[in-house]
Amino acid sequence: MIGMQVGGLWSDLGKRFCALAASEFVFWLWFIYLFVEWAHQTALRGGWAERLVPRLWYRGY
């Protein structure tokens, strides 16, 4: 009986950890996407990020 309760607790903690890890993964993907978009727009305007972004990328190829 106690083993099932402990097993249920670990299962619940595992589900919560997986949900937290998935949400954090999605957050970082979104953050990286925003940074890439910002760098791309800066490069298109001829800012400092132009040197960081490959030439083919900001020419639209």
Taking only the tens place, the pLDDT of each residue in 1-50 is: 454 555 566 677 788 888 888 889 999 999 999 988 887 777 666 655 55
CA angle, 44 then 49 then 54, to 5°:
75
39 vs 49: CA distance, rounded Å: 6
- For the chain, give every domain's residue range: 2-59
How far does Cα 25 stand from its chain's mean position?
5
Candidates 32, 54, 31, 59; CA nearest to 44 is: 59
Token pair of 13, please?
A: 């903690």
Could you give the CA distance from residue 35 to residue 52 in angstroms, rounded to a whole number?
Answer: 12
Q: What is the pTM of this model?
A: 0.50
